[in-house]
Amino acid sequence: MENHDNLEANPDKVEAAKQHTRKLSVTEAVSVACMGGFGDSFFQPFALFLNAGNQAMALIGTLPQAVGALAQIAGAGLSEKMGKRRPIIALCALMQALCYIPLFWIPFLFPSMGVPVVIVMITLCTSCFNLGGPPWLSMMSDVVPQNIRGSYFARRIRFWMAATIFSMVTSGILLWWFKTKSMAWAGFGILFILAALFRIHSAWLLNHHYDPPFNPKKEDYFSFWDFVKRTRHSNFAKFTFIAASINGITNIAGPFFSVYMIRDLHWNYIQFTFSTISFLVGQFVFISWWGAMCDRHGNRTVLAAACLILPLIPLPWAFIRSFPALMCLQFISGSIWSGFNLAAGNFIMDACTPQKRPRATSYYTVVNSFFSLIAGSIIGAFLAENLPSSYNLGFIHISFLSSLPPIFIISGILRFIPVFFLPNLKEVRETEPITPIQLLWRFTTGEPIFSQIQQLTNLLAGQAKRANGNKNKKT
């Protein structure tokens, strides 16, 4: 662990420590992305491999987030009591790494207990991650200046996405190869071991981050009930319930996309992997542009623009079965969700003071997880078990592969409801005004793609100029 004590007396050293931490955090994002690509991304395929049913898949998609939300409250409380955030974050990362060992070995040794054990261990794994969530967000918001948060976190996410894509491609190929040899168990085992090792490296990097002084006062504390009571007057509380509504409605269908791909469309592990990669590539291509828009036009406008498109995304899944077409749809989905998720994360940082940020983040997660649990585990699971797969609408007969496509349609239609509440949100800082429709128009005209090409051209031109300059010096 690096010694960051007594830095506050020297502003230059403080700034240098923050810059070093920002660089370390990008590297740490790569490690945690590899953990996700080798591990988390294959939780649901592993459960399906163990013959998990619709109810179990709904629980896997929602229960870990709900229990993890309670862990976030504990994480906020721990950071407030200790007055330090880095030790909590690093320890939680290490605990999460250790969860991968029983996740694989208990189902392998005791197959009859496989599905319940997987649900429990995924829940513990997610809880360890969430326990360190509020301290990490609080620490990083103190390390990253407000005026560069959009661009910095967009850059960090791009590295995260690139590493996720690499690890998922490798995982898909490994798992497919082992399955052709009738050794799928060994494939999952190798993936989860790699996930644990990358998370251990992530914990080591986190332990070398700079943790600025954190001194929350008694008056900064507010209970969950205080938070709920202020919903009518609090901009952040309104944002929380709007975002929770969107995420909850999304999770009516969310846990069942993997089931639909593997069970109903009969995709192999490579196809499943490339589906996720298409989503990530969409995020990778557009995240920098969304980051610039957040910095320039505000997070509220980006949220509103994304929410106008999100309801349309699940609808084609009900009718399209072509793999290439669904890959294109996943790319579009990733491009939109990247804007929503980035703006939501930035909004949390901007709307809360540093002392209140850990607790506000935990309450945000609790509300989101509660909505997702109700929507996924109760509403979604009920619909999956009870909706018919064919419908007669007058002279029109519609037949789906299962009861899941109608759930996609219901989720898409309901996503329009939270859109009507977005005008109640206020931007928390001075920004250049633009309407969500204008921003979407710029999005659809290809501005994000052209801006990436321009950045790449400028980068190559700069490298060529430096190379010529070095050559001239030598001559």
pLDDT digits (tens, 9 = 90+) for 205-231: 999 999 888 777 777 777 888 888 888
Examine residue 1 and state whether it is found in any structural domain, yes or no.
Answer: no
Give 439-472 as a DSSP string.
Answer: HHHHHHTTHHHHHHHHHHHHHHHHHHHHHHHHHH
Listed range (216-225, 421-430, 431-440) with the worst mean pLDDT = 216-225
What pLDDT shows up at residue 416? 92
What pLDDT shows up at residue 5? 53
- Could you tell me the CATH number of the domain that includes residue 319? 1.20.1250.20
Answer yes or no: is pLDDT of 328 > 90. yes
Mean pLDDT on 432-452: 87
Identify the DSSP state of 313: S
**Residues pairing with 398 in the sheet:** 391
Range of 20's domain?
Answer: 11-389+398-457
Please give the structure tokens belonging to residue 465: 């100029």
Mean model confidence pLDDT for the chain: 86
More confident residue, 94 or 53: 94
Mean pLDDT on 261-289: 88
Q: Which CA distances in Å does 221 have to 211, 240, 319, 345, 350?
A: 21, 18, 50, 21, 18
Examine residue 287 and state whether it is found in any structural domain, yes or no.
Answer: yes
What pLDDT shows up at residue 468? 67
What pLDDT shows up at residue 326? 95
What pLDDT shows up at residue 457? 76
Examine residue 2 and state whether it is found in any structural domain, yes or no.
Answer: no
Can you tell me the distance from the alpha carbon of 120 to that of 189, in angstroms, rounded to the nearest whole number?
A: 18
Examine residue 230 and state whether it is found in any structural domain, yes or no.
Answer: yes
- Give percent of the chain above pLDDT 70: 94
Can you tell me the distance from the alpha carbon of 75 to that of 120, in angstroms, rounded to the nearest whole number?
A: 20
To the question of pTM greater than 0.85 for the whole model, the response is: no
In tens, the pLDDT along 282-306 reads 988 888 899 889 888 989 999 999 9
What pLDDT shows up at residue 7? 61
What pLDDT shows up at residue 200? 96
Examine residue 470 and state whether it is found in any structural domain, yes or no.
Answer: no
Q: How many independent structural domains does the chain possess? A: 1
Q: For residue 355, give the 3-state DSSP assignment.
A: coil
Examine residue 219 and state whether it is found in any structural domain, yes or no.
Answer: yes
- Give percent of the chain above pLDDT 90: 36
Please give the structure tokens belonging to residue 475: 């001559």
In tens, the pLDDT along 390-416 reads 888 777 888 899 999 999 999 999 999
Q: Are 238 and 364 in contact (CB under 8 A)?
A: no
- State the CB neighbour count (10 A cutoff) for residue 16: 13
Answer yes or no: is pLDDT of 473 > 80. no
Please give the structure tokens belonging to residue 426: 């206020």
What pLDDT shows up at residue 469? 65
What pLDDT shows up at residue 207? 93
Examine residue 329 and state whether it is found in any structural domain, yes or no.
Answer: yes
Provide CB contacts within 8 A for 75, sequence distance 6+.
88, 92, 130, 131, 132, 133, 134, 135, 358, 362
Q: Are 129 and 35 in contact (CB under 8 A)?
A: no
What pLDDT shows up at residue 348? 84
Examine residue 229 and state whether it is found in any structural domain, yes or no.
Answer: yes
